[in-house]
Amino acid sequence: TKTISKCYVQVTGMTCASCVANIERNLRREDGIHSILVALMAGKAEVRYNPAVIHPAAIAELIRELGFGATVMENSGEGDGILELVVRGMTCASCVHKIESTLMKTNGVLYCSVALATNKAHIKYDPEAIGPRDVIQVIKDLGYTTSLVKKDRSASHLDHKQEIRQWKRSFVVSLVFCIPVMGLMIYMMVMDSQLSEAHAHHNMSSEEMEALHSSMVLEYQLLPGLSVMNFLSFLLCVPVQVFGGWHFYIQASRALRHSTANMDVLVVLATSIAFLYSFVILLVAMAEKAKVNPVTFFDTPPMLFVFISLGRWLEHVAKGKTSEALARLISLQATEATIVTLGPDNILLSEEQVDVDLVQRGDVVKVVPGGKFPVDGRVIEGHSMVDESLITGEAMPVTKKPGSTVIAGSINQNGSLLISATHVGADTTLSQIVKLVEEAQTSKAPIQQFADKLSGYFVPFIVAVSVVTLFAWIIIGFVDFEIVEKYFLGYNKSIAAAEVIIRFAFQASITVLCIACPCSLGLA
């Protein structure tokens, strides 16, 4: 017998099934080529050839001459079938050895490992020589029961519903409390600008100015040092900090546990420090019975949480859309197949229903009108119209006659067909599309990886900068107090200079933290 080798060629530039047919038709004519099988979605051709007559590089060259890009793939292991089985009835290590040694002697099995503890067998095989049903039969003949490991066909790992819900809740909570805070802030700004205009026109003394200032409703002090404005802001800020920021806190704690710093850490740092500082400053002002209301940052956390939770919510909604499409795609796959045994002259001898994962290459599968094609294949007998719109988007049914290729998941319409399976399991067009979409979802764009890498340095950098700001202002203040006085307006003259400096330094450093938070890098 002449030896036959197998090689895989990566083919680029194929756009449709006619490209596939073109390559297959032309290469079959060549000397030394035994058979060729091209998978469109995977962009891969599997060629069996006679090494005495032709070699892989020449095969790739033949494909190139047809106008496609072609490179020989080195790792031929790509085409091996992998089978996961549950084996019942094993009692001891000798059972394991018996199964393994028998399978390894079987022609076409490349690797086999059986675990007694989990009752699982992992088998690699050459789909040309043997298939899953044969392997299962070998194990059954040894006296064990065996079945396929059930795959999760629902794509539940792609479900973003829960995340969408939680970020939406987070966003809504933050928004509800953020709007009044923003309202208060804008009101304060307008009043302040009016006051400064009044000041400019009437040249009022600063005492009269104070009097005017404190006559504003929001500046009215409920308790000494506690204005209506600050009290309301505090009340509105607490629920946001707890409910709006809940997920941020969880994720930040996880990141810190793994000693990494992500954007969540920065958000949590900025909001917590702003909140705690404002809270402490209020308590101090109340203890001092201060006449001038302290500058607080209660408006920062709600606004930050609104922006960022909105961003997260939209991101998960977008991801959910792709996942939904994927789940629909996966649901198009048939779960069962009818395998028939043909006698001479294509007479049906027997047929049996099997799980679609058990269909082997070369099996003859019967597809009745209205049925789905379980695998990719070629028609042997029968004429029919087939709805392939799920793959091609073509609304009109396509005529199929002996020799036509059919795609798994498409729907047979009016005639019964017998097809010979060419691509099964993970090699079918549909599985390849699902795989491509999944990979697209999990892989990151280079710019995104760069941004992630940057934000790893970004967080410690911002924290460092704000700490530097804090100490720089403290030093400046103690060296030259007038600079602080110039920038720190409306502080109480009765407070000790040291405290004024520390308060101002804190304000400056918190501002740095809070401004760095909703930066484009973090939001993106």
Contact 212, 204 (CB under 8 A): yes
The beta strands (E) that lie in 409-480 are given as 411-412, 417-423
Cα–Cα dist 49/44, whole Å:
16
User: Residue 7 forms beta bridges with which residues?
Assistant: 47
**Rg over CA atoms, the chain:** 36
Summarize pLDDT for 489-515 with one digit per residue, the tens: 655 566 677 777 887 888 888 888 877
Q: What would the mean pLDDT of 253-272 be, rounded to a whole number?
A: 79
**Highest mean pLDDT: which range of 191-195, 199-203, 269-273:** 269-273
Number of structural domains (the chain) is: 4
Q: Is residue 493 classed exposed, middle or buried when 0-12, 13-18 and 19+ CB atoms within 10 A define those classes?
A: exposed
**Is 374 in the same domain as 453?**
no
The answer to whether residue 473 is domain-embedded is yes
Per residue in 82-100, pLDDT (tens digit) is 888 899 888 888 888 999 9
380: domain CATH number is: 2.70.150.10
Select from 379, 400, 428 the last residue of a domain: 428
- Check: CB of residue 299 under 8 Å from CB of residue 274: no
Whole domain around residue 118: which residue ranges? 82-148
Q: Are residues 229 and 309 in the same domain?
A: yes
Last residue of a domain, one of 148, 169, 202: 148
Among left, alpha and beta (phi > 0; psi -120 to 50; other), residue 439 is alpha
Same structural domain, 414 and 346: yes
Same domain, 182 and 274: yes
- For residue 132, the cross-strand partners are none
Task: Tell me what pLDDT residue 386 has.
Answer: 94
* Residue 211 falls inside a structural domain: yes
CA 185 to chain centre: 38
Please indicate, yes or no, if residue 437 is contained in any of the structural domains.
no
Separation CA 381–CA 420 (nearest Å): 9
Q: What is the predicted pLDDT for the residue at 154?
A: 57
**Helix (H/G/I), strand (E/B), else coil: 409:** coil
- Hey, which residues does 377 pair with through a beta bridge? 406, 421
Q: What is the pLDDT of residue 520?
A: 59
Whether 234 shows a pLDDT value over 60: the answer reads: yes
Residue 178 covered by a domain: yes
Does residue 26 belong to any structural domain of this protein?
yes
Confidence grade of residue 286 (pLDDT, cut at 50, 70, 90): confident
What CATH number should be reported for the domain holding residue 21?
3.30.70.100
| 474 or 195: which leads in pLDDT | 474
Residue pLDDT, tens place only, 458-467? 778 888 999 9
Residue 344, judged by CB atoms within 10 A of its CB (0-12, 13-18, 19+), counts as exposed
Convert the pLDDT of each residue in 3-31 to its tens digit.
Answer: 888 888 989 888 877 888 889 889 989 98
Identify the pLDDT of residue 248: 85
As separate numbers, helices (DSSP H) first and strands (DSSP E) second, the chain gives 16, 19
Average pLDDT, the chain: 82
Same domain, yes or no: 200 and 263: yes
CA-to-CA separations, 115 to 136, 223, 383, in angstroms, rounded: 16, 73, 47
If asked whether residues 506 and 459 sit together in one domain, one would say: yes
For residue 310, pLDDT beyond 60: yes
Check whether residue 60 and residue 99 sit in a common domain: no
Residues 354, 260: one domain? Answer: no
- pLDDT score of 58 more than 80: yes
Q: What pLDDT shows up at residue 346?
A: 79
CB atoms within 10 A of CB 296: 23
- Cα(448)–Cα(430) distance, integer angstroms: 29
Indicate the residue type of 185.
M
Same domain, 20 and 39: yes
**Contact at 8 Å (CB) between 87 and 120?**
yes
Q: Residue 155: left if φ>0, alpha if ψ -120 to 50, beta else—which one?
A: left
Do 182 and 243 lie in one domain? The reply is: yes
DSSP 471-512: HHHHHHHHH-HHHHHHHSTT--TTS-HHHHHHHHHHHHHHHH
pLDDT at site 377: 92
Report the pLDDT averaged over residues 210-228.
68
Taking Cα atoms as reference points, which of 463, 366, 407 lies closest to residue 455?
463
Any idea what DSSP says for residue 97? H
Q: Are residues 34 and 99 in the same domain?
A: no
So what's the pLDDT on residue 235? Answer: 86
Q: Is residue 524 part of a domain?
A: no
Q: Is residue 452 part of a domain?
A: yes
Which residues does 425 contact at the CB level (< 8 Å), separation at least 6?
Answer: 81, 357, 359, 431
236, 175 Cβ separation under 8 angstroms = no
pLDDT given for residue 215 in this prediction: 54
Is the pLDDT confidence value at 112 over 70? yes
* Statement: residue 153 has pLDDT above 80: no
Predicted pLDDT of residue 483: 78
So what's the pLDDT on residue 375?
92
Q: Contact 386/371 with Cβ under 8 angstroms?
A: no
User: What confidence score (pLDDT) does residue 376 get?
Assistant: 92
Which one is predicted more confidently, 139 or 502? 139
**Residue among 479, 485, 513, 511 at smallest CA distance from 500:** 485
Going 99 to 101 to 105 to 111, the CA torsion angle's sign is positive
Task: Please state, for a pLDDT cut of 90, what percent of the chain lies above it.
Answer: 16
* Boundary-marking domain end, from 394, 428, 462: 428
Judgement on whether residues 396 and 303 belong to the same structural domain of the protein: no
Would 153 be classed as within a structural domain? Answer: no
Q: Is the pLDDT of residue 81 over 90?
A: no
203, pLDDT greater than 80: no
Distances (CA, A) of 280 to 230, 249, 283: 12, 21, 5
What digits encode the pLDDT tens for the residues 333-378?
888 899 999 888 878 888 899 888 888 888 999 999 999 999 999 9
User: Looking at residue 338, what is its pLDDT?
Assistant: 93
Does residue 293 sit in helix, strand or coil? coil
